[in-house]
Amino acid sequence: MALPENTLAKPKRLGADSTEKSMPCYDYDQGQFSPCGWVYPGETVLPSDNIILQRTPFTWQQNNNWSTFYTACQQLARSITVPAYVFIDASWDPFVMSNTEILQRLAELDSIFVDSKVCILSARAQHYFDHLPGCVYMPLFAMHNYKDLEHRPKSGRIGCLNRRNAAHRVWLMHHLLDKKLIDPQRDVYSVAFTSLWSDTYFDVDHLLQINWFNQAQRQWPTQIQTHPDNFPNDYGISHPAWHTGIVIITETEVDANTLICEKTAKGILSKSCFSVYMHDVGYRVLEDLGFEPRFFANHAQEFDIQPIIDICHKFDTADSAIDYSREHQHQIDHNFDWLAYGQGPVHARPWFGRWKPKLEQALQSL
């Protein structure tokens, strides 16, 4: 049974200092909830009588004292008008919890919000296919409020932004630099080998059970930017990396916990020919939503970066990369048109028709 159209929340324009919301949203921090000051980007596709809980232990591991979290939920439940739905926002950050634990945690929350239906909005691509009761994949990458789009003529060979020094990103950049496969004359890249906040290196040796990489990555400058940019995460496409012949997108998680976030969306929004470094499940989600993300036969995932190395070998000039992009212009245009960002309400965009049954199924399972 489809959701009646009049059950969907209507967008509400807020004043600059207003915290009034069509859907109350609460941040969890230091053992308590407090109203947050933003409008959830996906609110227009969810039933209107609900609350959103953010920064919970489902994704924010620094808040992983579950007993304290449940106590805060009990206090919140006593202090608010009972909503029809309680949505746990896990739609943007890494979500590494097992399905068994998810169901256990949901059962605890059901016993607290006894007169509401509790549902997790998940970023993990696998949850698109799992049909897990009380959990639905949320394609927030397609709903997020991006900045104005500034399309430019393509120039340069390969663009790649790596703002955070995640293990897979420093692994990729070390090997490309070591093999002399990227350079500032042909490419646009931005890589941090150390944390942007503490100047510490990621312990890749421990993660991969090897004993050479931690030392090897120290041969490079801690931060390399061909176009000094202060490593922005600006939710726009103004950076020149998005206007090269081929864009290498390094997603946040590249294993079975893959999520699709703003980097992939910006690859689509910038009208790029791209290769996304993520698990194949992410590609399958994009395809099921109606996108055509496979510009190349293979893609990097986990710590297998050979497909990106192959791209760098094959396209050794900016002209060859731009020519390849032009050959795939129809596919690029399809992805852009299919996302239809800013083109009317979310529920009227092409991809939404593919995802809507997932939402309906999840809500009916509660």
Residue-wise pLDDT for 21-67, tens only, equals: 456 899 999 999 999 877 888 889 999 999 999 999 999 877 789 99
Q: pLDDT value at position 23?
A: 67
Task: Tell me which residue of 53, 56, 63 sits closest to 116, measured CA to CA.
Answer: 53
For residue 325, what pLDDT is reported?
98
- What are the residue ranges spanned by the domains of the chain? 5-143+344-364, 158-339
Asked if 86 and 58 touch (Cβ cutoff 8 Å), the reply is no
- What is the pLDDT confidence band of residue 169, given thresholds at 50, 70 and 90? very high
Q: Which long-range contacts (CB under 8 A, 24 or more apart) does 17-22 make?
A: 22/48
Q: Dihedral of CA 346/351/357/358: which sign?
A: negative
Per-residue pLDDT at 20: 40
Residue 143 contacts residue 346 (beta carbons within 8 Å):
yes
pLDDT at 356: 97
Average pLDDT score over the chain: 91
Q: How far is CA 94 from CA 7, 125, 353, 366, in A?
A: 30, 11, 26, 24
Which of 3-7, 159-163, 235-239, 314-318 is predicted least confidently?
3-7
| pLDDT of 15 higher than 70 | no
Average pLDDT over residues 144-165: 93
**Tens-digit pLDDT profile for residues 85-107:** 999 999 999 999 999 999 999 99
Distance CA 25, CA 34 (A): 8
pLDDT digits (tens, 9 = 90+) for 273-299: 999 999 999 999 999 999 999 999 999
Considering only CA atoms, which of 110, 106, 76, 75 is closest in space to residue 90?
Answer: 106
> Which amino acid, 353?
G
d(CA 230, CA 196): 10
State the helix-helix crossing angle for 318-327 and 329-339, rounded to 10 degrees: 60
Minimum mean pLDDT range among 23-37, 204-218, 334-348, 349-363: 23-37
48 alpha-carbon distance from chain centroid: 24
Q: Give yes or no for residue 1 having a pLDDT over 80.
A: no
pLDDT single digits (tens) 178-190? 999 999 999 999 9
pLDDT band at 11 (very low <50, low <70, confident <90, very high): very low
- Spatial distance between the Cα atoms of 8 and 11, rounded to a whole number of angstroms: 9
What are the b/e assignments for 77-107, b being 16+ CB within 10 Å? beeeeebebbbbbbbbbbbebeeeebeebbe
